[in-house]
Amino acid sequence: MTIVFNKDICHDLSKATEKEWLETNGIGGYASSTITGANTRRYHGLLMAATRPPLGRTLLLSKLEEFLCIDGKEYPLSTNIYPNIIYPEGYKNLVQFSLNPFPTFEYSVNGIDVKKIVFMVYGENTTVTLYLVNCRGEWPFALALKVRVMVAFRDYHWLTHENPAFKTDYKILPNGGICLQPYEGFTPMYLFHNAEAMDKNSFWYKNMEYPKENERGLEFHEDHLSPFALHFDLNKRKDCHIVASTNEYNKLEVFELLEKETALREKENRGLKLESSDSSLQAPTSALEPPQGEVKNITKLCKSLLTVSGSFLVKRENDKKSIIAGYHWFGDWGRDTMISLPGLTLVQGRFEDAREILLSYAQYVSKGMIPNRFPDYGETPEYNTVDASLWYVQAVYQYLRFAKDLNTIRKDLFGVLKEIVEHYMKGTRFNIHMDSDGLIYFGVAGVQLTWMDAKVGDWVVTPRIGKAVEINALWYNALKIMSFLAREMDLSNESKDYNNLAQKVNKSFNDAFWIEEGQYLYDYINGETKNTAIRPNQIFAVSLPYSMLSKKRQRNVVEIVKEHLLTPYGLRSLSPKDNDYIGRYCGNVCERDRAYHQGTVWAWLIGPYISAYARAYAGNKDTLKYVKGLFAPFYEHLFDAGLGTVSEIFDGDPPHTPRGCISQAWSVAEILRTYFEHVYGFENEK
């Protein structure tokens, strides 16, 4: 789906700088900025290279500052933000921005049109910037394009400031390329171009301002070195290019790269053919109470998310596939990967990708735990999550359901699943173990093990030590899956053992977690402590394939979640009626972490809510109509924040401003999963 903004938006800097584009390379690197080209956060840049795929992200090329020169007079195309001033003001000459499929900027100056296309080469840390120039009418004047290069050479979390250690020299290569390596041992960047001349004046651009970092309570000014500028004579050529890469090309054909990448995107985007009738559905007037008519734009939403879903699938250094949790700053997290896997791979028929991811994580299982995350530096995975391994069991089950590949499970995965269950039964890290009632207990002071993992210094924001509702819902689900898989493999005794334990868990769970007075579930239990906070975690006791709750209790849980937590963009992490509720996710790191799971809306939770609603109200004639209405607000969101994708989180209070990462894997994945399962009809497949 093409996203287009015309000059009414492009010329409104306050609106235009809220709209961010993202171009990825399949190994964790990316290029990203706003539709004006003004960088508004430290994570923006034209070449954010993944030096240790998919991590080791390093900002090499920050941006290109462009001027169209007509008879010696300069007209800006680029835009930068500095304290109390915008310079240059190229956005005033920007008449259109589009994603089709690459970020494309169209400028118009005195009858001269300049189209700029930015794209990355799949599997490489290579960004191509291509300029196509068209002059309406005669061309009797001197016409040139001047492009000044700005570099940073830093870790993507840091900021660069002018310093004597930064070497400002560079090498001109025999093939005409330029090599920059300002720090010894640092990844070099190679620039290739077809400019006629080079301005070798070098200087620092000081105090470029990043408003998004200011909002986040972080340092928000950065210096950039500009080692040179390139001059393109437009009287001699109508296409100009600059290629930034960590590869030293011997020969470079830009239009061949463009054709190759275009063909690759078209192949990736063919995907599943969606029903054309969806494109004419009627949009709801309210996400909470959809109209009686069907919802408009569901097909467009899903097509856009199918397009962007491939950006999360990356190759690690070992050439194995994994899933990036979110852009701009997340790596591949175990929990996020397993939750995202069905929506990003299985419903799209990417069975080999799913298989590779499951097999890859199987190699890292330790004491029944899959890694929570792979750190930016160092090779040792972090094992500090109680739910990721249980989500792994669920992901394997979904793989079988869609791919029908029992052989891989029999040969390579069932033993891994048994190891996970056995360690949860007998005990593993962080006091994770099965209690005498069959329920899973976990936790040690100072460590956050569930997805609600915010921590400020030594302060744990949402302490949930004990028996958490979603962990035990996942545990029961895992036992039922093990029983099913054992039965499929003719292991009848094992199947019975797993099923018997599951029945014990079922009884214990209903006895321990059900709040009769409120008709919902405790969030967690620790001895005599029974937490009554209304949180979204209870929805998993309904949404997972195997539920312990009666139909009546399922509906009660869904209704309490709907009343307190449902918003147009997902579920709040805490009821607004709770004294600990925080309605806006903003401020410094401490303030944001405090709000992260205390009311902030999480888009990915719309998935389990939809699944829970579809289960609880299966057979109701209005269920499908209601479910379709829940997708509608996400279509409008495609044009805000991260373009064509879905943000990580939103404010709990209206207007539910998007926050966090501009493109989050499980946000995208859960919308796709639930659409294909509950609207498209995959849930009917056996």
Kindly report, residue by residue over 167-213, the tens digit of the pLDDT: 999 999 988 899 999 999 899 999 999 999 999 999 999 999 999 99
Query: Any residues with CB less than 8 A from the CB of 669 and at least 6 apart, and which?
Result: 309, 312, 339, 340, 341, 342, 343, 344, 604, 607
The pLDDT assigned to 281 comes to: 25
Residue closest to 90 by CA, chosen among 161, 147, 128, 21: 147
Query: What's the token pair of residue 616?
Result: 């609880």
pLDDT in tens, 342-382: 999 999 999 999 999 999 999 999 999 999 987 665 568 89
Of 110-119, 265-274, 458-467, 473-482, minimum mean pLDDT range: 265-274
- Torsional sign, CA 289, 295, 297, 302: positive
pLDDT greater than 60 at residue 163: yes
Residue closest to 560 by CA, chosen among 549, 548, 571: 571
The pLDDT assigned to 487 comes to: 98
Query: What's the token pair of residue 587?
Result: 């401020």
SS3 135: strand
The pLDDT assigned to 265 comes to: 86
- Torsional sign, CA 668, 669, 670, 674: positive
Residue 297's identity, in one-letter code, is N
Helix (H) or strand (E) holding 520: strand 520-521
In b/e form, how buried is each residue of 285-322, taking b as 16+ CB within 10 angstroms? eebeebeeebbbbbbbbbbbbbbbbbbbbbbbeeeebb
Q: How confident is the model at residue 292 (pLDDT cuts 50, 70, 90)?
A: very low
Higher per-residue confidence, 80 vs 238: 80
Higher per-residue confidence, 673 vs 139: 673
The pLDDT assigned to 494 comes to: 98
The pLDDT assigned to 458 comes to: 83
SS3 311: helix
Strands 239-245 and 126-135: antiparallel
pLDDT greater than 80 at residue 294: no
Residue with tokens 């900002």: 59
Query: What's the token pair of residue 431?
Result: 């006091």
Query: What's the token pair of residue 230?
Result: 């390139």
pLDDT greater than 60 at residue 683: no
Residue closest to 37 by CA, chosen among 85, 74, 76, 6: 76
Q: How confident is the model at residue 238 (pLDDT cuts 50, 70, 90)?
A: confident
Query: Any residues with CB less than 8 A from the CB of 465 and at least 6 apart, and which?
Result: 442, 443, 444, 445, 524, 526
How far apart, in whole angstroms, are the C-alpha atoms of residue 286 and residue 288?
A: 5
pLDDT (average), residues 397-420: 98
Chain centroid offset of residue 541 CA: 25
pLDDT greater than 50 at residue 282: no
Beta-bridge partner residues of 86:
81
**Percentage, residues of the chain above pLDDT 70:** 94
Q: Where are the alpha helices (DSSP H) in 26-146?
A: none
Strands 45-52 and 112-120: unpaired
Residue closest to 667 by CA, chosen among 285, 311, 192: 311
pLDDT (average), residues 6-30: 97
Average of per-residue pLDDT values in the chain: 93
pLDDT in tens, 243-279: 999 999 988 899 999 999 999 988 876 654 555 433 3
Q: Specify the long-range contacts of residues 91-95, CB closer than 8 Å, at least 24 apart.
A: 91/10, 91/11, 91/13, 91/16, 91/36, 91/37, 91/38, 92/11, 93/68, 94/7, 94/10, 94/11, 94/35, 94/36, 95/6, 95/7, 95/10
Domains, in order of start, for the chain: 3-257 (2.70.98.40), 296-684 (1.50.10.10)
pLDDT greater than 80 at residue 445: yes
How far apart, in whole angstroms, are the C-alpha atoms of residue 148 and residue 226?
A: 7
The pLDDT assigned to 137 comes to: 65
How far apart, in whole angstroms, are the C-alpha atoms of residue 478 and residue 269?
A: 34
How far apart, in whole angstroms, are the C-alpha atoms of residue 183 and residue 465?
A: 46
pLDDT in tens, 380-390: 889 999 999 99
SS3 571: strand
